[in-house]
Structure formats: C-alpha cells, structure tokens
Amino acid sequence: MKLSTQILFLAALIALAMFTTTAFAQQASNGAEVGPAIALNAPTRGVVFKTASINSDGTRAQSFRAVASIHLGVGTYQVTFDENVQALNGFSRWVQVDTLTTGSISGVSCTTADRAGNVRAVFILCTNAAGANVDTSFFLFVAR
C-alpha cells in the first residue's frame, strides 16, 4: 500500500472511532455519572437554524431569526428568537467571542443558558480570564 493510501485509511479509521466510541466525558474515574441526567424532549440533529451577531452594547449587528437582543448588565446579554429555543427541547446553543470586524479578542469566553421566564430567549454570560464579567461582541448559534 502506498503511504498516501495508508494515511487516508488511518484517517478513516480514526474518524470512525471518534463517531462510534461511547463518550466518557460525563463519567468520573470511578464510573459514577457526573452532573444531572438530562432527557431532551426532542432529538438534536446538529443543524444551525438561528444566528445572531451581537455588539458589546447588546445591539444586533446582524441576525437570522433573532427578534431582539438586550444588554442586561456587564457581561450579560439576552438574545430572543422567533420560537422556543430551550435546551430541553433539543436546541443546542453556543457562542463565539468575535470582533465582528478585523482584529482579535483574547482572554474572554462566554457561556449560554436557557433564559429564566422566556423560553424563546438565550442568556449569555461573558467573562475574562480572571472570571470577572466583561462586555464583548459575539456570535451566537442555535442548532437542533
């Protein structure tokens, strides 16, 4: 077998192993389950249905199916979409810190959560490396 064929075969085996191996991230070394068990009401298929690019002041730079956004306080935001986007209903949400222009942002990360009291909204919390809330621009994806 040629070297290029061997490399391609090895890459295919690795990819197959990655997608067929049981995920162990939710188990402690003693085999006990870590964190609460979550049962989704609907399956997640990994298709992005909604997006929003949000300025550091909470205004929408651009969006697809987002109907509103607001800056709640330092490093905290709410982005509202056109339908229920709760994780319980199979929606995954992730956020990427983004300049929305040229340049870079370092040392800042954001997390998402269901917004209490509003099933159509996503709560976003952004912090710096020291854990302090910090305002930043970001891009939000909602998939199912």
Give the range of the structural domain holding residue 66, as residue numbers without chain letter. Answer: 48-143
Query: What pLDDT was estimated at residue 112?
Result: 97
Cut 0.75: pTM above it: no
Query: What pLDDT was estimated at residue 28?
Result: 47
Query: What pLDDT was estimated at residue 21?
Result: 38
Give DSSP secondary structure letters for 45-100.
---EEEEEEE-TTS-EEEEESEEEEEEEETTEEEEEESS---GGGT-EEEEEE--S
Report the domain count for the chain: 1
Burial class (CB in 10 A: 0-12, 13-18, 19+), 49: middle
Answer yes or no: is 6 within a domain. no
Answer yes or no: is 18 within a domain. no
Answer yes or no: is 65 within a domain. yes
CA distances to 21, 25, 60, 100 from 54, rounded to whole Å, are 36, 31, 5, 8
Query: What pLDDT was estimated at residue 144?
Result: 83
**What stretches in the chain show pLDDT beneath 70?**
1-46
Query: What pLDDT was estimated at residue 18?
Result: 45
Answer yes or no: is 13 within a domain. no
Query: What pLDDT was estimated at residue 104?
Result: 94
Tokens of 98: 């983004």
Answer yes or no: is 34 within a domain. no
Answer yes or no: is 138 within a domain. yes
Query: What pLDDT was estimated at residue 22?
Result: 40
Query: What pLDDT was estimated at residue 47?
Result: 82
Answer yes or no: is 42 within a domain. no
